[in-house]
Structure 1
Amino acid sequence: MEIIELERSISLAAPGDATELDFVVVDVETACSRVSSICQIGIVGFRDGREVFDFETLVDPLDHFSSFNTRIHGITEDHVAGKPTFGDVHAIVNRHLGGRVTVAHSYFDKGALGAACRVHGRDVVETTWLDSVRVAKRAWPQLSSHKLNVLSRYLGIKHKHHDALSDARAAGYVVVKAIDHTGIPLADWLKPANPRGGKAPKPATEGPLKGQRIAILGAARDGALGHWLSARGARVVASVGTTSTMLVVSSDQPFGRYFHASAPYRRALELQQAGGSIEIVSEEELTKRLDLDPRSTGR
């Protein structure tokens, strides 16, 4: 069988044409503790929240199989006998990933592909990486684990754990569902998370919030809400601490109804339980309390 015949493709985008796909997802399985020992590769392409192509192949890692790894994925030396090496399939992998947004569930797969490229004397695949673990932690902070099998059960995704193609497909749907759940577009998931934002605006010398040290949950302190608070005398702080007097839960925060599982909220609650005077209040509640319409002042 020719290598290219291993590919199953549905409406495959042209090589390097990043505009045809929202993102691709890759997952690899390895034969042993060396991350370069890739023995299976799965790639799935997504556009408009739908799967539009997939690719899967077993790979001869040119390395030994450890019993530990085989117990995880079930792949043995017999399964890869006569299969292409990573050097053989590198061009196909590069065609699917190169110049695109590539999702992987943790950066293990990024490291494995990079190591395999070095071992086999191939160029490193140039792509923009997105960790679906980080996406899941932000979208569903209430979960105690963000492993792919746990997320698949929680989100109702059909999944066969430690099969490269199934893992790639599941990770892709985690991102699709996170975008739908939070309303955060793909482009914003690619930005470094910085909930504290830049430098806080200087507090006004007078106002109903003068003397308050306020942390914000779910919005940057140099954003619209931070400016609104500062204009009323509050000092907007970067994080919840022992001197904080209030945690304001932004109406724009990405955690949905699970905001209580976020680290700032838990920290504020701990301070309250320890006898601290910090108050937890929503943006809507605070604006009503001050009898102000935030939309009339830029909010």
Structure 2
Amino acid sequence: MLITASTLQALRVGFSTEYQNAFDAVPKLKDRVAKTVKSSTALNTYGWMKGLTGLREWLGPRQIDNLTEASYTLLNKHFEKTIAVNRNMIEDDNLGMYSDGFTMMGDGAARLPEELVWGLLKAGFATNCWDGQYFFDTDHPVMLADGSMSTYANTDGGAGTPWFLMCTNRPLKPIIYQERKAPAFTAKDNDKDDNVFERNEYVYGVDMRCNVGYGLPQLAWGSKQTLNPANYAIARAAVQGMKADGGGPLGLVPNLLVVPPAMESAGRKLLNSEYGTAGETNEWKGTAELLVVPWLA
């Protein structure tokens, strides 16, 4: 193959198309539980998180939230994948070996945000959020109507496979996906580029900058108990009973049940079946949508 500017342009388009087709084929599930926050700096500080839980009745002096005490900083991480194509391979028209590489590059770029979001959710039983407690914990701090401090739980513990009941129709979601730079496909295929002159290689890569963090714990219930009607009822009542700072109800209605593939059958029986295991009417049918997430396997 004679290497010309038009040849390289065609190769660039072909490699980019293979990358994009694979990128588009990956299921995008993270947006169901994660709010995307655009970042314009190296890091974002979410000092306003504590102030999202509602207003208090103004009696006497204002009660000022010290947002620095609840600050939560996410530093953007940088990710990349690079493939080098030997110039001789192009001249010899021997490019078949590279097709899978660009397919996997697109697949990996699309999977990374999913892996980050769902990995963080799964780690919530042992990872701190902005209030200093594990995201799924039994003693999150909350201020009562009289100004005293109390605690609330968003888990009932357990030792089995985790499942999650969430309220995802509020402005903030349980997880934050912070995006500094969306995945960008780049080619260094000019004959004057150092990689071509020094190593006889055309280089193609993708890079992105992002990170993930926790939103409001009240929006999600995490359980390692058996997924059955009794434990689902506990989770549902707990989410609906969540209070804001000041003691007022948040008015949450859980709408999404998230499970790994191994619990799909239990989730379908709980939310889709007309009858329970003993033939009784299934009172929980249709009370939430089931989302089966392969990244939780």
Q: Taking structure 1 as the reference length, what is the TM-score of the superposition?
A: 0.25
Task: Considering fraction of residues, name the structure with more strand.
Answer: 2
